[in-house]
Amino acid sequence: MGILKNTLMTLLTSCVLLSLPIQAQQMEEGTEEDKDNWKIMHAGTLLAIPGEQPIGNATLVIKNDRIDQLLEGFQSLEQLGLDQAEVIDLRDKFVLPGLIDAHVHLTMDRSLDREQDDSSDKPDESLDVYALALGVENARKTVEAGFTTVRNLGSSGWSIFALRDGVNSGKIVGPRIFASGHTIRIGSESEGGECYSVDSCKQAVRRQIDMGADVIKIYATCSGGQLCSRIGSPSPFLADELQAVVDTAKTRELIVAAHAHNVRGINMALNAGVDSIEHGTLNDSSSRQLFKKYGTYLVPTLMVLDRIRRINPEREDSMMKTHTQTHIDHHEQNINDAFQAGIKIAAGSDAGVVPHGENARELEFYTIVGMTPMEAIVTATINSADLLGQSHNIGSLQVGKYADIIATDVSPLEDITALKEISFVMASGKKIK
């Protein structure tokens, strides 16, 4: 006992001795406080909180990755009592929070042709590596387009987690990523997200949790390119399977996003307690009642509709043509009806199915179906942050939140397309563009 005690004491003493030179070194270099990175930004017009009026001539003080102060007027270093800080001059710009896209696939690019590449959802490791390479490129395009946070819904597996962690470590330029792994869908058992019973669906979700998922994505209806998602068709899930997926995700408080086109799939997912419906193409008044009852978000992905409009109908048989036409005829109106009914909308483009880096077009479509530019900006800031459970970190420019800041030459409140020409991007306090 005595020997053990002595050994412990020796260890403790050596630890104390070892720590002394480090402390001394820190004293020489200055305190932790001095190592902080400070920036001050002069904003000509500042929309700090979308939904509220912008203000003219403001100063943002940024300490490391977060906003430290927000002041009226253009404050100088001397006025702020700072010895050293980079001064960023955006006095002729419109400054707003970094945008958030709640539905992307960074590790996919199917924007050219619907049938071109259907392989990247399969859990093949070599494809997963290729998917990461695609993701690195797409992550840069996305953040440079002013989208400083994304929710990635469905990938080939590990690639998206590597990409997320690479961005978090500062080694890869990209947006902050909240990622699901494989999409949970009905299918034969595999190493991916397929499941076929309550137990295997629980297992499929737990596999994603083990891989590091922040979000669970489920296919509550077939894909829009399949006839089985047509009007009136059932969900491929049985109600108890869908419930098992949601309940398992909730054991880790993960948000659940449900891809759903038709009413039966949408309503079944809403009743199971998902956090968002993706696409929501054919939502009707019964769906809207459930959206309101549960407070669920709708993520419209109208850019996909725009793409479907441009697909050559000659390639499709008559039933498929009718199905596609139903989506084209009703999606926009149903999104507008949902918005007018007070359903919460979070912006999501489905980039990966549509081109990466053009995410702001989604907001343009919202103004076409009836939102004001301010309402459209709210869907990609305040609302998307709320859907992600990240309102304390992102979605507005307030003291303590991440310094995710973008700027345009023209006010997007006057012309929403100004968001397609982002002239300045800062993500987590780092200048990207």
Please say which residue, 214 or 350, places its beta carbon nearer to Zn ion: 350
Task: Provide, rounded to whole angstroms, the least separation between the CB of residue 219 and Zn ion.
Answer: 10
- Per-residue mark of binding to Zn ion, 124-163 (x: CB under 5 A): ----------------------------------------
- Cβ proximity to Zn ion: between 307 and 430 the closer is 307
In this complex, which beta carbon is closest to Zn ion, that of residue 350 or of residue 362?
Answer: 350
Asked if 221 and 261 touch (Cβ cutoff 8 Å), the reply is: yes
Q: Which of residues 177-196 bind Zn ion (CB under 5 A)?
A: none
Least Å distance between CB 105 and Zn ion?
Answer: 6
Closest chain position to Zn ion (CB): 350
Question: What minimum distance in Å lies between the beta carbon of 227 and Zn ion?
Answer: 19
Nearer to Zn ion, 166 or 224 (CB): 224
Decide whether 101 or 350 has the Cβ nearer to Zn ion: 350
| Residue 301: CB minimum distance to Zn ion, A | 7
Q: For residue 15, how many other CB atoms are within 10 A of its CB? A: 9
Smaller CB separation from Zn ion, 134 or 426: 134
Report how far residue 141's alpha carbon sits from residue 111's, in angstroms, rounded to the nearest whole number. 14
C-beta of residue 183 within 8 angstroms of C-beta of residue 207: no
Least distance CB 353 / Zn ion (angstroms): 6
How many residues in the shown chain lie near Zn ion by CB under 5 A?
A: 1
Q: Which C-beta is closer to Zn ion: that of 50 or that of 352?
A: 352
CB of 76 to Zn ion, least distance (A): 47
* Token pair belonging to 176: 């902050």
Q: Which is nearer to Zn ion, 107 or 200 (CB)?
A: 107
CB of 111 to Zn ion, least distance (A): 12
**Both tokens of residue 4?**
């053990």
Task: Please give the Cα distance from 24 to 18 (Å, whole number).
Answer: 11
CB 365 within 8 A of CB 306: yes
Contact flag: residue 101 with Zn ion (CB under 5 A): no
Give the x-and-dash track for 258-287 against Zn ion (CB under 5 A).
Answer: ------------------------------
Q: Which residues, numbered 318-377, are part of the site for Zn ion (CB under 5 A)?
A: 350
**Other CB atoms within 10 Å distance of the CB of residue 91:** 13
Encoded tokens for 56: 């003219």
The nearest distance, CB 422 to Zn ion, in angstroms, is 23
**Interface residue list for Zn ion (CB under 5 A):** 350
